Structures are given as structure tokens and as C-alpha cells.
Structure 1
Amino acid sequence: MHHIMGYSWDEIMAMVTIFATVGGGLIWLLHLAIKSGTEGISNKLSQLINQVDSLNHMMSLIESTANRTTRRVDTLEDRFEEHEGNAKVRNQRITALEKEIFRYENSK
């Protein structure tokens, strides 16, 4: 019978079978650990992506609201300046009328 490194063919085949079985089991366990570990990471990552999308949507809404508020403030400032100008004109007219009335009363 032939021997390789002091082992017979049936002993070599038994060792190969044992190593293949143990190696296959280790590979299966490693695959299972990696798969379950990455599923958790994948779930957390998808949650993070959803939260970032939600935050992006919320920021867009806030920006839209801020733009509308800015436009409204600008409109109100324009109206205020218009009213302020009208008030200055009225004050000047009142001052002119007061001077005219007091001059008229003083001349009597």
C-alpha cells in the first residue's frame, strides 16, 4: 500500500474530510456573523438616510417660510416708509398752517 508522509490513503482522506467539515463550519459561522452584523448596520444606515431626508425636507420648509417672511417684512417696510413720508408731509402742512394761523391771530 502507498503511504504519503507516513499516512495511508484512508487516513489522508479522513483528515481532509475533517478539515473540510471544520473549515466549512467556520466559513458558515463567519458568513452568518458578517451577514447579521451588516444587517444591523444596514438597518441603522437606512434609518440615518431616512432621517437625513426628513431633515432635508424640514430645512426646505423652513427656508420657504423664511423667504415668505422676508418678503412680507420687505412689503411692510415699504408700506411703513410710505406712511412715514405721508406723515412728514402732513406734519409740514400742519406746521405751515399753525404758522399761518398764529400770524393771522398776532396781526389782529
Structure 2
Amino acid sequence: MHHIMGYSWDEIMAMVTIFTTAGGILIWLLRLAIKSGTEGLSNKLTQLINRVDNLNHTMSSIESTANRTARRVDALEDRFEEHKGEAKVRNQRITALEKEVFRHENSK
């Protein structure tokens, strides 16, 4: 019979079969470990992405609300200034009328 490095063909084929089977099982276990580990990580990343999207949406609506509030405050400030100006004019008219009325009463 033929021998290679002191082993017969039967022994060589048995070793190849054992190493191939062990290697296949090792690769299958590694793939299973990596897949289960990355699935958990993938789920957590998906949750994080969803939360960031929700936060972004919330921040956008807060910004929109703040902008609307700022516009309303500006409009109210403008109206307040108008009323303040009108009040000054009324006070001047009242003062003028008071002077006129008191002057007429004093002259009688």
C-alpha cells in the first residue's frame, strides 16, 4: 500500500473527514454566535434610530410652536405700542380738556 508521511490513505481520509467536520461545526457555531450577537445590537440600534427620529420630530414641533408664539408676541407688542400711543393722545386730550374746563370755571 501507499503511505504518505507514515499514514495510509484510510487514515489520511479519516483525518480529513474529522478536521472538515470539526471545522464545519466551528464555523457554524461562530456564525450562530455572531448572528445572535448582531441581531441584539441591530435591534438596539433600530430602537435608538426610532427614538432619535421621535426626538427630532418633537424638537421640530417645539421649534414650530416657539416660532408661532414669537410671532404672536411680536403682534401683541405692536398692538400694545399702538394702544400706548393712543392712551398718550387721550391723556393729552384729557389734560387739554381739563385745562379748558378749569380755565372756564376760574374765569366765571
- TM interval, shorter chain, is over 0.9
Over residues 43-76 of structure 1, what are the superposed CA-to-partner deviations in whole Å (9 max), with x where a residue is unaligned?
A: 1111111111111111111111111111111111
Which residue number corresponds to residue 86 of structure 2?
86
Code of the residue aligned with 2:78 in structure 1: it is D
Q: How many residues align?
A: 108
Query: Does the alignment pair 1:102 with 2:106?
Result: no
Letter in 1 for 2:101: I
In structure 1, list runs of 5 or more residues that go unmatched. none
Number of the residue aligned with 2:3: 3
Aligned residue type for 2:63: E
Displaced runs of 4+ in structure 1, greater than 4 A?
none
Distance 1:91 1:35 in 2: 82
* In the alignment, structure 1 residue 75 sits paired with structure 2 residue 67: no
Measured on the aligned residues, the alpha-carbon RMSD in Å equals 1.2
TM-score by length of 2: 0.92
Inter-partner Cα distance in structure 1 for 2:4 and 2:104: 138
1:90 partner letter = R
Q: Name the CA distance, whole Å, in 1 between partners of 2:16 and 2:53.
A: 53
Give the counterpart letter for 2:86 in structure 1.
N
Residue equivalent to 1:58: 58
Percent identity between the two aligned chains: 85
Distance of 1:55 and 1:99 partners within structure 2 = 64
Aligned partner of 1:8: which letter?
S
